Structure 1
Amino acid sequence: MSEPGNLDLLSDDQFRERFRAWLAANYPAELRQDSHRPFRRLRGDAAVAWLRRVQEAGWRAPAWPREYGGMGLSFRKQLIYHEELEHAGVARIIDLGETQLGPTLIQCGSEAQKAHYLPRILSCEDVWCQGYSEPGAGSDLASLRTSAVREGDEFVVNGQKIWTTHATDSTHIFTLVRTGKFAKKQQGISFLLIDLQSPGITVRPIVNLAGEDEFCEVFFDKVRVPASQLVGEIDQGWTVAKALLGYERIWIGSPALAGKALELAHTLVRELGLSGDAGVTDRLAQLAADLHDYRLLYAEICDAVADGGKPGPEVSMLKVYASELLHRLTEFNQEVAAESGGIVGDTRIGGALTDLHWQLMMARPVTIFAGANEIQRDILAKTVLGLPAEAAAKSQIKN
């Protein structure tokens, strides 16, 4: 089965069956996630090799319109697509070219930019990272200071980005830069596409708490970028960058990781002989109930979008709840494992082989990236609950 065929003619159940069969036949068993390794990721050459196989078989870019090389799936079929990736244990890939830049170019890019970059994203000829956060401009992204000054047909870029995920594995970066000064700091920001091989760029990896170099610093020293690499209008990059944040938070808010962490929790309690410990089982039951409630909330929001609604500020609830539940689950798993929970690297607990320290450390930044949870609570307080700014600020202090 090499081509998915005309998906428009398939029912949701038929689509699920066909994609599940293709994954079962094509995804390498040795790279699968399971309850013991729930956060496995692919990056670098392994990620590119898998994505190229997906592209060759016609299963790439479910959200892109067919005219741009995507699958053109309805939102409901996109949900099924992601559910089947999780069901098959496909390791997570941070593919910002497909999930962020591609849709941004489709919506805001020039025809020349679409014709050049979209096919190269799908073929993995170009691998993209995101240059948003800076020292002093993370959650308060509008305070960024990396500058781009127009000189003839080029921009000259100077500054620094930080927490740039997988920059060492990337060939290009899409980034926000300061091109003008206005009273409102969201103005005067532009969206640029930059080749990471350009003279004047230095990429420096940052080792995280789990011992991985997935984050990086990116330095720009008089980097010359063709003006044709500007996406959208000059000084209007804030609007470009916000275009897809709602959908991003829906996918980030998936309960899948928490679900796998809960499966591991049940395994640990069983393997450690703690099923008769009322304190342990009460905590486990509370976590299971919280995940059940969250799945219902997630399904409700996804159903509303599938029925034609647009993601609103309420999707911030998904990111907050999912990330903090993941915190609590990984903490529970490490605590019930007692001394085994402090081991760095794989450890065997009964019949389970797992790395609890790595999972705990990888779960920590989830409440920070894609907008810190404190910022998400502020958004919810102002735009969903309708609280005045002063009351919203007090709610942040209490939390």
Structure 2
Amino acid sequence: MTIPPDYNAMPETEFRAMIRAFVTQAFPSELLHVARRVGPQEVADYNRRMAQQGWIAPAWPVEWGGMGLDTAHQIAFAEELAAIGVPRLHEMGLQMLGPLLMQFGTEAQKAQFLPRILSAADVWCQGYSEPGAGSDLASLRLSAVETPTGWVLNGQKIWTTMAHQSNRMFMLARTDPNPARKQEGISFFLVDLAWPGITVRPIRTLSDELEFCEVFFDDVQVPRDRLVGELHKGWTVAKALLGHERLFVGSPRYVRGAFDQLTEMVEALPPDAIAARERHMKLRLDYEDFLSLYADYSDFAKQGGQLGAEASILKLLSSEIYQRVTEEMLSLSAEAGVIADANTDQAEAATHFFQSRPSTIAGGTSQIQRGIVAKAVLGLPV
């Protein structure tokens, strides 16, 4: 039996150099620095090579096939991918479901699903949001009615990322229609999107991408072994996910590419473009403040600290600075920026702009983040 290397024993500079060298060679060069989310089919060969290398799951424990990285090395891994220009990948199985199954899943569920996540045999999407239940997720209404063999699902999910390129979904459904509190009576299920009664309908976005979907459930039969955790306790399972992703949701990796391109655009302006340079400097100050705060939170996490509600500040700053940067990019590129099929900086500016629009909504709106900070961090009445 081969003993996996102890990556945590490596000096951080050596670890970073190792990751950088391999990923630079393995990741498709034509997909570096793209502003959109990259689909699983586009990076299938990259995922296969990362799996063969044993690096597909940096945060997973070694016993489940992961690298077993501590927080410091996880952050270093993510920062190196961002520096190389690896864009957003569809990794919900690796980043979200895997850690939840390790914590709440049965031994049979772990044995069935974790190896298939590692090998990329399964592609998972997240079925949370519904019409009328987005930021207020606990208001979800998709029903799961118990039967002798399991549950029957009826209802709709919306804004489901990459459902049309996934074969499975982890989801929340209401198993008690009359709970004392709306966060109660919700359960966490695993479903196959090929099951009878499930219809996936892609949504074309403003940026002309097919990234999100509607998913309809009509009398969908779910067996008992697809319930994760306790019945009616799905909210507890879903909340546990926050502990796995808080720091990375507010990562600067998606802002960095846009800001670097904006800087190149400003440097190419004539010397008398004083107003544009002043706007760029103001943005740079806010951008550097954000990077400094992220570095402080990263150092805290590296030392074993557990980020709480204050991580909402990172999400808030990351998304709003991203929008401000892309607005300035589009302003500088003027009308040419809307030509989405041109191979120009203007077309990239338009792509960044369109991608930035939902960033203050996805993952919790800016209003929700401000409310969390006000109540949980500042202790203000909300």
TM-score normalised over the length of structure 1: 0.92
Aligned: 1:364 with 2:361: no
The one-letter amino acid of 1:384's match is V
State how far apart, in whole Å, the 2-side matches of 1:286 and 1:326 are: 14
Among 366, 377, 381, the residue aligned to 1:384: 377
Q: In structure 2, what residue type is equivalent to 1:265?
A: L
- Paired residues for 1:237-386 under 5 Å: 237-271=234-268, 273-348=269-344, 352=345, 354-386=347-379
2:129 counterpart residue number: 133
Output one character per residue of 1:282-329: Cα deviation in whole Å (capped at 9) or x when no partner: 100011111111011011111111111112000000101000000000
- RMSD, matched Cα: 1.5
Q: Deviations over 1:258-291 (max 9, x none)?
A: 22111111211233x2443221111000111111
Deviation at 1:40, TM superposition (A): 4.4
Equivalent-residue separation in structure 2 for 1:324 and 1:194 (angstroms): 35
Query: Is residue 210–residue 361 contact of structure 1 (8 Å, CA) maintained in 2?
Result: yes
Paired with 2:159 and 2:210, the residues of 1 have a C-alpha distance of: 10
Distance 1:382 1:325 in 2: 23
Please tell me whether the aligned partners of residues 345 and 355 of structure 1 are also in contact (alpha carbons under 8 angstroms).
no
Cα distance change on mapping 1:8 and 1:388 into 2, 3 Å: closer
Contact 2:85/2:257 (8 A) holds in 1: no
Distance 1:276 1:10, change over 3 A: same
Counterpart CA distance in 1 for 2:294 and 2:120 is 31
SS in 2 for 1:42: coil
Question: Residue 192 of structure 2 corresponds to which residue in structure 1?
Answer: 195
Partner residue of 1:205 out of 198, 202, 211: 202
- C-alpha distance in 2 between matches for 1:40 and 1:168: 16
SS at match of 2:205: coil
Deviations 1:313-365 (A, max 9, x none): 000001010000000000000001122223233253xxx47422221111100
CA contact (8 A) 1:269 1:275 kept: no
Q: Which runs of 4+ in 1 moved over 4 A?
A: none
Partner amino acid for 2:151? F
| 1:126-147 Cα shifts (integer Å, max 9, x gaps) | 1000000000000000000001
- Paired with 1:7 and 1:382, the residues of 2 have a C-alpha distance of 39
- Which of 122, 133, 142 is 2:138 aligned to? 142
- Normalised by the length of structure 2, the TM-score is 0.96
Going from structure 1 to structure 2, the CA distance change for 1:114 and 1:275 (only over 3 Å counts) comes to: farther
More displaced 10-residue stretch of structure 1: 193-202 or 262-271: 262-271
Distance 1:156 1:101, change over 3 A: same
Q: Indicate the larger mover: 198-207 or 20-29.
A: 20-29
Deviations 1:17-53 (A, max 9, x none): 21112123322322222xxx4x243213123332121
Using the alignment, how far apart are the partners of 1:347 and 1:20 within structure 2?
A: 27
Amino acid at match of 2:78: H
User: CA-to-partner distance for each residue in 1:179-232, whole Å, 9 max, x for gaps?
Assistant: 012120000000000000000000001111001111000000000011111000
Identity %: 47
